[in-house]
């Protein structure tokens, strides 16, 4: 197995174990070789994910139910409540409609290290878990408000 896959498996194993102390959102997920781990966000086509890259990480709501127009409609409904969502999150979010693509996303990028910074993994993982808890809290009521 490629060294990168080994690193990701270990990173996710540690993160998922720590995350169980704070949230059940990804509790039934297993470590994987990929650079993200997702869970359903309470509506078909919406996933809430941790993402790790070599130099940074992020948490995101990914919107892709398969239909571009429906995805953009969901994004626009959430964007209309941007102020409420960001107030609940505690800081600005990166709202990416991605007009040229089928999907959209709302994310928060965490600087301060990534997969290559193994000595900082505990701090990176804690920051990711904290951001995930805040993202779920901020977006869950907005997702519940979505009109079909």
What whole-number distance in Å separates Cα of residue 124 and Cα of residue 111?
9
- Residue 148's pLDDT is what? 67
Full DSSP string of 14-68 = HHHHHHTTT-STTTT----SSSEEEEE-SSTTEEEEEEE-SS-EEEEEEE-SS-H
Could you tell me if 132 and 126 are in contact, meaning their C-beta atoms sit under 8 angstroms apart?
Answer: no
pTM of the model: 0.95
Query: What does the alpha-carbon distance between residue 113 and residue 111 come to, in Å, rounded to a whole number?
Result: 6
Kindly state the percentage of the chain with pLDDT values over 90: 95
Average pLDDT over residues 119-136: 98
Q: Check residue 72 and report its DSSP letter.
A: H
Indicate which CATH number applies to the domain containing 24.
3.30.1460
d(CA 28, CA 41): 14
Rounded Cα distance, 23 and 5, in Å: 25
87 pLDDT exceeds 80?
yes
- Judge whether residue 1 has pLDDT over 80: no
Region 28-53 average pLDDT = 96
Domains of the chain: total = 1
What is the helix (H) or strand (E) element at residue 106, kind and residue range? strand 104-110
- State the residue range of the domain holding 32: 3-145
């Amino acid at each position: 197995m490629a060294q990168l896959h080994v690193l990701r498996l270990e990173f996710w194993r540690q993160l998922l174990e720590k995350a169980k102390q704070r949230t059940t959102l990804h509790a039934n997920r297993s470590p994987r070789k990929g650079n993200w781990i997702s869970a359903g966000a309470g509506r078909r086509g919406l996933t809430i994910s941790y993402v790790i890259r070599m130099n940074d990480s992020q948490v995101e709501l990914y919107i892709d139910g398969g239909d571009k127009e429906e995805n953009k409609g969901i994004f626009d409904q959430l964007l209309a409540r941007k102020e409420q969502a960001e107030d609940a999150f505690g800081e600005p979010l990166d709202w990416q409609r991605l007009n040229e693509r089928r999907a959209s996303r709302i994310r928060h990028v965490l600087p301060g290290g990534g997969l290559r910074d193994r000595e900082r993994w505990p701090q990176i993982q804690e920051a990711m878990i904290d951001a995930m808890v805040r993202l779920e809290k901020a977006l869950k009521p907005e997702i519940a408000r979505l009109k079909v």
